[in-house]
Structure 1
């Protein structure tokens, strides 16, 4: 019995270590001509499906001077939604509408699926016009 408990403890410990296989794919790199940022993906089915699509190139348009929006090549599964967002939130409006919020705010019902959070200077997207982004796993 002690060996089983120990094996479970060691397995759990290794899973939580930085660089472990369970954590290797939870960060992404978003790059554009305007700059690069990294983001931590959310723990939900939609974010895992997005991770499975990488690498991606998406043409993004400015919307309401608070976000860049673009079309994913395929729909992502549903996940819980919320109405509030902060600057740097990666979201999913409809099942295929990828959003990078560069200001904080609130969206109307039914809300957005949170895909992740940028961990860098999201103000690189705070400018009018379109931008093409590339999303890949951070290495």
Structure 2
């Protein structure tokens, strides 16, 4: 999967779970645009067009983690957190500092795609 933010295309290695598979199936129908807001100084969060199956477990997030929250919220972590969440994937080949700079302090629009 790919996430494009501010014209930068990021590669995501997807998890092997029903949540990630459901997102992939949704993306096979077309790209998804997610308007994302900053939350708590460690993540960007936005709503998906529909809920996905949850596979929540207590995890410690790291910068680059792609998370499903409450079944319908898409989250990109640029910091750390510990909570009961579903991991969808991990952004590849970007440092935490690069990710933080790309996402910035305000709202961003992310485009999710398979190509």
Number of residue pairs the alignment of both structures matches: 107
C-alpha distance in 2, partners of 1:106/1:65? 14
Provide the residue aligned with 2:113 in structure 1: 136
1:39–1:120 CA contact under 8 A, matched in 2: no
Structure number having the greater helix percentage: 1
Q: Which residue of 1 aligns with 2:87?
A: 114
Q: What root-mean-square deviation, in Å, do the aligned CA atoms of Structure 1 and Structure 2 show?
A: 1.3
Unaligned runs of 5+ in 1: 1-27
Larger radius of gyration, structure 1 or 2? 1
Say whether 1:75 aligns with 2:47. no
**Are the counterparts in 1 of residues 13 and 92 from structure 2 also a CA contact under 8 Å?**
yes
1:36 pairs with 2:9: yes
Q: Distance in 1 between matches of 2:74 and 2:91?
A: 14
Q: Provide the TM-score with structure 2 as the length reference.
A: 0.86
**SS in structure 1 of the partner of residue 112 of structure 2:** strand
- Equivalent of 1:62, from 38, 58, 64? 38
- Whether the 8 Å CA contact 2:4–2:10 is kept in 1: the answer is yes
Larger strand percent: 2
